[in-house]
Structure 1
Amino acid sequence: MISLYDTHGIPPEIARESAEELGASVELPDNFYSLVAKTHIKAEAEETTKPVLPGKTELLFYEHPFEQVFEAEVLDVVDGSVVLDRTLLYPEGGGQPADHGTLENATQVFQVVDVQKSGDVVLHKLAKPGGLQKGDHIKGCVDMRRRMAHARHHTATHLVHDSAKRVLGKHIWQAGAQKSEDRARLDISHFKRITEEELKAIELEANRRVMETVPVKTQFLPRTEAEKLFGFELYQGGVPPGKQIRVVRVGTDIEACAGTHVTNTGMIGAIKILRTERVQDGVERIEFAAGEAAVLASQERDDLLGEASGVLRVPAEQLPKTAERFFEEWKGQQKEIERLKEELAKARLRTLTAEAQEVDGLKVVVQKMGQADIDELLKAASLLAEQDYVALLGSETGKLVAAVGRSGLAKGVKAGAIIKVAAKALGGGGGGKPDLAQGGGPDVAKLDEALKVGMEKMRAGP
C-alpha cells in the first residue's frame, strides 16, 4: 500500500477498494501517512531518553506569540532548572533553539540560558542556580529580539522549502533544518547540485511570497484528521509524537510543526540566500538569513565589495572586469617569470659546466647556488642531466637537488643515494628517483660539508 501510494500516487482508499473487489481483505492503519513519511526520513541515532518529570506546564507562546511578560508559580527545581506551571519561553525543538529571558522574584532577577521540555513540563535552566524554591511566584520575561529572529527564520524556512519545490520540482523533500538568530539552513533532497540561476529563482520566489503578506495559519488537529486532510507531506520536518499535532500553513506549505512563527509572511522581512553546498549524496543544503539578519548579511557583503573596490581603486560595478584583467595579467607574469627562470638556469648552466670535474669517467658538477629556490635547483640539475652530467646542487636555504645523466645511470649512480647522505649532513633527509632526487635540512651552516659527502658518494659508486 505504501509503495502504491508513494511511487504511483494511488490513494490507499482506492487501492483498498480494488483489492476488496478481487476478494482480498485490506486493513488500513490510522497512521498510514505517518508510516509513509517515515520512509522518507533517514533513521537518526536514538537520543538519550530524558527522565519524565511529574506535572504539567501550560504553553502560553502558541496563543500569545508576541507577549513578553508572564506570571507563574514554581512547581519544582530540578538540577538547577526551574519547572513552572505556565511559560511564554519556548523550549528547544524542531531545529529551533530555546528562548532566553529572565525569571524574577521579589528580590532577584535570574537569567534563563536554556529551556527544555521533559514530558509535559518545561525546564528553565538558570545561569546561576539557586534562589528560587517550589511555591515561589515569579514574573518571567522573554528576550523578544531572539524570539522574533527565530520566528522569522522558522517561517522563512517554510517559504524557502516551498519555493525550492516550485523551482526544482515536487520531488523536493526536507531532510533537515536548523534555525538561529543570524541565519538558518534547510537540507533538501535533490539529485544534482543547485545552479546559481536556480538559487536566485528560489530566493526571488520566497521574497515574492513574503510581499504577498499571506497569513500564517496554525491549528491543533487530531493526527488522523490532519493526515486525511493533508497526506504524508505533513511530515516534511519529521513525525511528531502524540494524538494531537500542530499544523502550520505558510502559503501552500503545510507541515506538522511545533515552532514559533510570525503571523503573516510580511513580518519575515527580506530573505537572503547566503550559500548552498552538497552535504551528502542527494542532499543539498541552503543557508539563508531573514529579516534584520538578512539586512546585516547584505551589508557585510557590501562591505566586502567596498573593501575590494578600495584595494583595486575601481567602482564596485567594475570589479569583475578589473579582477579578470588582473588575473590575466598575473598569469602572463607567471609565464614570464618561468621563462626568465629558464633563461637564468641556462646561463648558470654555462657557468656550472665550465667548473665540471671528471670522476671515474663521468662529468660531475657539485656547486652552491646562493639563495636559489627549489624550482631553480631542479631546473638547473635537470638541464645538466640532459647533457649527461652528474650534478649535486645546494642552496643556502638548506635545499639540495641531485640529478644523474645516462652515463651515470649506466654505471649505477643513483640521485636518491647521493641526496640521502648529503641531506643527512644538514640534519635532514630526502629522496627521489635514480635520475632526480631532492632533500634538505635545517643545518644550513654545514652546506659545504653536505656537498663534500655527496661528492664522496659519487666517487664511491653504487
Structure 2
Amino acid sequence: EMMAHHVFNRPDEGRMFYWMEECVKYCHEMFTETFGIDAKEITYVENPWCGGGNAGPAVEVIVGGLELATLVFMNLEEDEDGDVEIKGDKYREMPLQIIDTGYGLERFCWAAAGTPTIYEAIYPETVSWLKELAGFDGITEQWPELNLDNILGEMSRLNGIMNIEVGVDGDELRSTFIAKLSERGISITQQQFIAITDPLARIYAIPDHLHALCNMLGDGLVPSNAKAGYLARMLARRTLRMRDELGIEVSLAELALHHVDVNLGGKNMKQTQDGIATILNLEEEKYVEMLRKGEQVIKTMLSNVDKNANEIEDELLFSLNDSHGIAPEMAISLAHRSGWESMTLRTGFTAELAERHAKMAKDAAKEVNKSELVTGLENLPSTNSLYYDDVYQFEFDASVLFCGEIKGDDLPEGATHAIVLDRTCFYPEGGGQEADFGTLSTDSIHCRVLDTRKIGEHIVHLTDSSLSNGDVVHGCIDWNRRKQLMDHHTSVHIVGGAARKILGPHIYQAGANKSVDSARLDITHYNRLSRTDLDDIEKMANQVIVQVHKTEKSILNRKDADRKHGFDLYQGGAPKGDTIRVLRISDHDVQACGGTHHDELGQIGSIRIVRSTAVQDGVERLHIVAGQAALDFARDQDVLLRQTGDVFGVNINDVPRTAERFFGEWKEQRKRIEQLEAEIVRLRTSGGDDSSFSKDGVRIVIMESDGGLKNMSKMLKELTLDESKPTLAILGSKEGGGKLMVATTENSIASERYNSVEILQSIIPHISGGGGGRPTFAQGGGSKPEGLQDSFDAAKSLLDI
C-alpha cells in the first residue's frame, strides 16, 4: 500500500503550489517531528523515475537501509524528439508538473515492528500458520546451530545486492549472498541456504498473493482470461502452485478465508465470504483441469528436448505463455511433473517477458493510424446537442456550419459528405449505442443522414448529398429507430441492476451494445448462467418497469459524483471531462452514461432476455430485446412453435413432450448405428479382408473410412484403445479434399516402434496435403482425394507389408 499526496502544478497558468524543496521539507518534518526518527538515520538518494509514458526527478527516502518513501516530481512526457533521455527513452517537458509521493505503509509497520522480514510484521498469523502446515520447523531443526532470525535479519539488510536484472545468473547471486553472510559471521552452506529460503519464499509469497486476491474478489472482481480478471486468475494459480510445492493440503478457499479473518477482518467488502469461497473453489477446479491439459501441451512442446535439460528455450516459454496461457513458472512446474526434473527458470525471465509485452503494446500503439474522416473542423464552435434537453424531440431547425467530402474505409454505403450544424437532435454513436438516422432538408435539397458521429466537440452527420454553408435546414430523426435504441439502452441499465441483485455484488458491466434489433450486456460472473437465472433476472427487470415510474438524470461535478456514488458509477467506462451525466433508476442502478434513455420506464413496455453466451471464462453475455423488439421476438417464437407442432402433427402444448420422445428415439438409433459401425471395424480388421496385417506382434490396419474426421476418430479410438492389442492404424477418407489419420496404441510396442508423424509426412504428399501431430497421433488433409490409394500403397511399402 503506497500512501500518497499529489500536487498538480501548472506554471504556464500561474498555478505553482510547491515543488521539490518544499516536498522534501514536508517529508523530513514528518519523519523527524511526527515519527521521531533521528535525522542522522535518514538518507536522501536522487534517482530519476519513469513509467507509463511519463518521467521526472525522484528522491528515495531511506532510513536505516530501508526505503520508506519515494518522492516523484513528474514533469516530463515521452516524446521521440525529446531532449531528455532516461533509461533509453526520450522525453520532453510537459506543462503539468506533478508531485506524486509514495509512502510505504507496510514498510513503516516493518520498521516499527523490527521483525526479521516485512512478512512477519504485516502477516504474522498467516506466516505462522503456513509454516506449521508446511512443516517448516522440521527443516530448520536439522541445523540447530543456525539462528534463523539472525540469518533472516542479515538477509533483509543484504537484499539490496540482489539486483535481479534481466539475464542475471541466479546461482551467482546466491553464491554472492552466501559469501556476504559469511563476511558478517554467519556460516551457511548452499544446501542449507536453498533448503531454508526456497520454502520461506513461498510461505512469504502466499499471504502477499492472498492479500491482493482477497481484496480484488472482495471488491467484486471475477477471475477471467482478460484485463483485471486475468490478474486475479494468475494470483490464484500462483498461490495454488506454491501451496502444492510446499505440500500443503488445504484448499485455496480455506487459505483465503483464513487470510480474510486474520488480516482483513475489519474491511467492508462487497462480496461475501461465501461468495469468495465459491469463486475460489471453482478456480481450483479450473486449475486442476489446466494442469491436466497443460501436461499434454508440455509433453508435446518438449518432445524433442532432452530429459536432463536444465532450461527451456526462451522462445518456447514465450509461446507457452502467449499461445497456451501457461505462465513460465507453471511451465517449469509442469515440466517437472512430466519428467524434465532438472528444468529451472532462468533468473530474470519473468521480467523480460513483462518487458516484451510492454514493448509489443507500445509498438502496437505507435502503429495505430486513425485516418481522419474529415478535416477543417478545428475552428468551428461546438455543436449544441439537443437530445440531452429532450430525448423525445425528433424535429429541429439548424444552420449548416460545414459541409465537406468524406474519406475512409469505415463509411456507410451511399455516404458522400459530412455536415456539421450549429445544433442537432441526432445522437452520434457512442457508449455502445448506435447512431440516429434521419433527414436534413431545405426547400430544394433532401439529404439522408446515414450515420452520425462525434469528432471532438462536433457532431458530424454523414449524408448522401451536400448542403451549403449557411443553409438553414430542417432535421428529422428516424423516431422509430431512436425509440427502439432508447428501449434497449434503458433496458441494459435495468437488467444490469437486476443481475447484480439476483447473482451478487460481483456483477460488473464488462461491455455493452445497443442496436435496433437487440442489446447485449456483458457481465462478470464466475459460472455459466442457467435458464432459471435468466428468468429470475428477466422477472425482476420487468418488475422494475412497473414499480419505478421515472428515471433521474443529472449532471454532476466528477468529484461530487465520485463521493456520492463511488467508482461503480463508471461500469460503462469513465467519461472525459470535469462534469458527467448520471442516470439513476431509483435504488436499482446508477451509472455515468451519455446515451439516450427514457424518462418513464413504462414507455419500454417489456424486456426479454433471449439467452446468455460465454464471451470468455468469467464473462457472460446477456442477449436482450425490449419494447417492439420484444414483441417481435415473442411473435417469432410463437410462429416457430406452431410450425414445429405442424411438423410433428401435434398441438403446440404437446410439442415439448413429442420432441423429447423423438430425441430419445434418435439417441437410441444413433447408439445402435455406432455399435454397428464398431462391429464393421472389428470385422474388417479381424483378418477378413486386406485391411489388417500383423507384423512382429503389432497389428497394422490400413483402411478407408466412409465418414469424415469425426467418424475416423471414433474408428481410431476403437482400434488403438486396447493396450493388449498393440496397433498401428492408418485411416483415410476422400471427404473434403482427402484426410489421413495415423495413430498407435500408447505405451505399447506399437508406439515404441512407429512414429505417427513420420509416417503421415511420408504418405500425405500423395493427396497433396500436409499435417502433423505427436508421435502417437497425427492427422492431415489435402486437395487430391483421388490419391488416397497411393497414400495407402506408400504406407504398405514404407512398412514393408
Q: TM-score of the superposition, structure 1-length normalised? A: 0.70
Structure 1 equivalent of residue 435 of structure 2: 98
Structure 2 equivalent of residue 81 of structure 1: 418
2:455 partner letter: S
Shift, 1:140, TM fit: 0.7
* Cα separation, partners in 2 of 1:351 and 1:299, compared to 1, 3 Å: same
* Cα separation, partners in 2 of 1:343 and 1:133, compared to 1, 3 Å: closer
Structure 2 equivalent of residue 161 of structure 1: 496
Mapped pair 1:314 → 2:640: no
Question: Which protein is richer in helix relative to its size?
Answer: 2
Structure 2 equivalent of residue 134 of structure 1: 469
How far does the alpha carbon of each residue in 1:65-105 deviate from its partner, in whole angstroms, 9 at most, with x for none?
22221111112224431111111111222221211111111
Which of 102, 108, 111 is equivalent to 2:448? 111
Which is further off, 179-188 or 216-225?
216-225
Structure 1 equivalent of residue 568 of structure 2: 233
Shift, 1:202, TM fit: 0.6
Structure 1 equivalent of residue 202 of structure 2: none
1:91 partner letter: P
Structure 1 equivalent of residue 608 of structure 2: 272
* Cα separation, partners in 2 of 1:436 and 1:315, compared to 1, 3 Å: same
In 2: Cα distance, 1:226 partner to 1:370 partner: 67
Mapped pair 1:292 → 2:618: no
Structure 2 equivalent of residue 64 of structure 1: 390
* Cα separation, partners in 2 of 1:191 and 1:400, compared to 1, 3 Å: closer
Number of residue pairs matched by the alignment:
418
In 1: Cα distance, 2:540 partner to 2:694 partner: 78
Structure 2 equivalent of residue 19 of structure 1: none
Structure 2 equivalent of residue 149 of structure 1: 484
What are the equivalent positions in structure 2 for 1:6-405 lying under 5 Å apart?
A: 52-79=378-405, 80-128=417-465, 130=466, 132-212=467-547, 214-252=549-587, 253-341=589-677, 352=688
Which is further off, 232-241 or 135-144?
232-241
Which is further off, 239-248 or 432-441?
432-441
In 2: Cα distance, 1:40 partner to 1:436 partner: 44
In 2: Cα distance, 1:141 partner to 1:335 partner: 62
1:101 partner letter: G
| Residue ranges of structure 2 left out of the alignment (5+ in a row) | 4-33, 36-218, 222-226, 229-360, 406-416
How far does the alpha carbon of each residue in 1:346-398 deviate from its partner, in whole angstroms, 9 at most, with x for none?
77789937x99x99999x9999999899799989999xxx9999999999999
In 1: Cα distance, 2:572 partner to 2:696 partner: 80
| Residue ranges of structure 1 left out of the alignment (5+ in a row) | 4-22, 25-38
* Cα separation, partners in 2 of 1:64 and 1:150, compared to 1, 3 Å: same
Is the partner of 1:294 in helix, strand or coil?
Answer: helix
8 A Cα contact 1:69 1:141, kept in partner: yes
8 A Cα contact 2:712 2:731, kept in partner: no
8 A Cα contact 2:605 2:626, kept in partner: yes
8 A Cα contact 1:345 1:376, kept in partner: no
Query: RMSD value over aligned CA atoms?
Result: 5.2
Shift, 1:323, TM fit: 3.0
8 A Cα contact 1:367 1:451, kept in partner: yes
* Cα separation, partners in 2 of 1:264 and 1:428, compared to 1, 3 Å: closer
Is the partner of 1:71 in helix, strand or coil?
Answer: strand
In 2: Cα distance, 1:266 partner to 1:301 partner: 24
Q: TM-score of the superposition, structure 2-length normalised? A: 0.43
How far does the alpha carbon of each residue in 1:306-365 deviate from its partner, in whole angstroms, 9 at most, with x for none?
333333333344333333333332332234334445665677789937x99x99999x99
Shift, 1:179, TM fit: 0.6
* Cα separation, partners in 2 of 1:453 and 1:317, compared to 1, 3 Å: same
1:64 partner letter: D
8 A Cα contact 1:245 1:256, kept in partner: yes
In 1: Cα distance, 2:795 partner to 2:704 partner: 15
In 1: Cα distance, 2:621 partner to 2:702 partner: 57
In 2: Cα distance, 1:389 partner to 1:365 partner: 6
Structure 1 equivalent of residue 109 of structure 2: none
In 2: Cα distance, 1:102 partner to 1:332 partner: 60
Q: Which has the larger radius of gyration?
A: 1
8 A Cα contact 2:741 2:777, kept in partner: yes
Paired-residue identity, %: 37
1:58 partner letter: N
Which is further off, 72-81 or 419-428?
419-428
In 2: Cα distance, 1:338 partner to 1:267 partner: 55
* Cα separation, partners in 2 of 1:2 and 1:251, compared to 1, 3 Å: farther
8 A Cα contact 1:102 1:112, kept in partner: yes
2:510 partner letter: A
